[in-house]
Amino acid sequence: LYRECWEVRKKTLGEHHQDTLNSINNIAVALDGQGKYAESEALHRQCWELRKKILGEHHQDTLDSINNIACALDDQGKYAESEALYRECWEVRKKTLGEHH
């Protein structure tokens, strides 16, 4: 159903609409839950690139994408790469939201 929703949103809202991007994210999360970590990572990266371009690097959804990629990497045992992304996300969030948010 997530893929169907994504297709409908692409047709009706456009490929770069925030709701369309959320559909990509939802598919990636579902794939992660199924243990399809590499496929999940690829979709999370696609979503991240689009969110950076459309929403900006410091938008909450863009930061969520970085965190989601880190989770997918962690699930694949790519701990060093995962940690680097977790730290990047944390640093940007501290700068944009404040340390005690």
Question: For residue range 67-79, what is the model confidence (pLDDT) as tens digits?
Answer: 999 999 999 999 9
Place of tokens 């490929």: 15
Q: Would residue 77 be called left, alpha or beta, if left means φ above 0 and alpha means ψ between -120 and 50 degrees?
A: left
The confidence score (pLDDT) of residue 67 equals: 95
Long-range contacts of 25-31 (CB under 8 A, 24+ apart): 25/61, 25/64, 25/65, 25/68, 26/2, 27/2, 27/3, 28/68, 28/72, 29/68, 30/2
Tell me the whole-structure pTM to 2 decimals.
0.87
Question: For residue range 8-52, what is the model confidence (pLDDT) as tens digits?
Answer: 999 999 999 999 999 999 999 999 999 999 999 999 999 999 999
Question: Torsion angle, CA of 14/16/98/32, rounded to 10 degrees?
Answer: 90
Place of tokens 């990497």: 73
